[in-house]
Amino acid sequence: MPVCLSIVKVVPLKKFKSIRQEMKEKGLLKPIHYTDPGLKYSQTLYPNGPYLFYYGVISIGTPPQSFYVLFDTGSSVFWLASTYCSSEACTNHPLFNPSKSSTYYSRDRTFYQGYGTGSLTGVFGFDTLHIEGLTIPNQGVGLSITEPGNTFVHANFEGILGLAYPSMADGQIPVMDTMMQDNLLPANVFAFYISKNFEDGSEVTFGGVDQSRYTGQIYWAPVTEQLYWQIAINGFQINKQETGWCRDGCQAIVDTGTSLLTCPQQYLGYLQQYIGAQANQYGEYMINCNNLNNMPTLSFTINGVNFPLPPSAYTMHNENGQYYCTSGIMGTYLPSRNGQPLWILGDVFLREYYTVYDRQSNQVGFALAA
């Protein structure tokens, strides 16, 4: 699997606060703004996660126009805020102007993305996309016409670049699939490193892995359904004690577009109680900072291998490196499509484990992050 880094494209990711955190700090967050993270996968999205996100720069058009996007393994559509949009969210962000690109063209096909606070509508077009030295001609891109409520007013990005499977792309050919069709990559894989220390230094690589970003071997799990990057969970332990919650099987979506670890709702109360967390008015779970050393290690069994999460991984920090004393675990009512309990392995998990997404063999790889 390792491919020479000199031919792998490395996109640096920059840390920003999430929409929810921006709203909270401005005094705009209300209890009604808490939304089940699992709604993302039922075509109803949400102001995703209360803490940090990691965005990278792409450019599109001729001459190129540059934008921050969320590289999201939990969705498939690539879209940008555009000059076609007159919503409030489009008044405080850079906008893609297709009329200034000589390589843009459109077939006037519209698209719709559902969100918890409204709907994003737009038109699909095509243009030349540039990602850190990769040039991708005729890439489909959604241009926003309306953006919902205040979901994106407080966002620090101008679009989302979906990296899930094409069955989720509303007829658009996803960026990864275009790269595969055009044979642009030495291997049809991409990988994420999310900095443990909340510092800049995170990255996504296309075409291979960055061996300096992990230690030991990569352990693989097959994709169980080619919609999201979904895998099976065989067990879940608290301080090495098996809970039995996945005795009959669980599923997990490995999602860079979710900042948290999301637990099946039927187990959330038990899990927060085990770690000593209590809910506040925002739907967040607060932890006594002094108890960190006494909190349990959580562990997932994935394809026969245990992946532990120490308390420092699932307890959130503020920008100065001190603890917010907030649990990085939330719940979802959404089951997997086969009815098994569903976990979402978001950035809380991905900061601990370097993650490889392999479209050649339809598997996800995990290695201990360096």
Structure tokens at 227: 């919609």
* Dist CA 95 CA 122 (whole Å): 13
Contacts of residue 115, Cβ cutoff 8 Å, sequence gap at least 6: 44, 45, 46, 148, 149, 151
Q: Which of 36, 127, 210, 255 is catalytic?
A: 255
255 included as an active-site residue = yes
Give the residue from 117, 74, 34, 54 showing the smallest Cα distance to 332: 34
Instruction: Return all residues near 62 (Cβ < 8 A) that are at least 6 apart.
Output: 101, 102, 103, 127, 128
CA distance 299 to 261: 12
Residues 6+ apart with CB under 8 A from 294: none
Preceding peptide of 64 cis, ω within 30°: no
- Compute, in degrees rounded to 10, the torsion defined by CA atoms 145, 151, 156, 160: -60
Q: Tokens 């209300």 correspond to what residue?
A: 30
Q: Which of 72, 127, 170, 358 is catalytic?
A: 72
Q: How far apart are CA 215 and CA 354, in angstroms?
A: 9
Concerning whether 72 is annotated as a catalytic residue, the answer is yes
Q: In a 3-state reduction of DSSP, which class is residue 179?
A: helix
Q: How far is CA 69 from CA 15, 324, 333, in A?
A: 12, 27, 28
Active site members: 72, 255
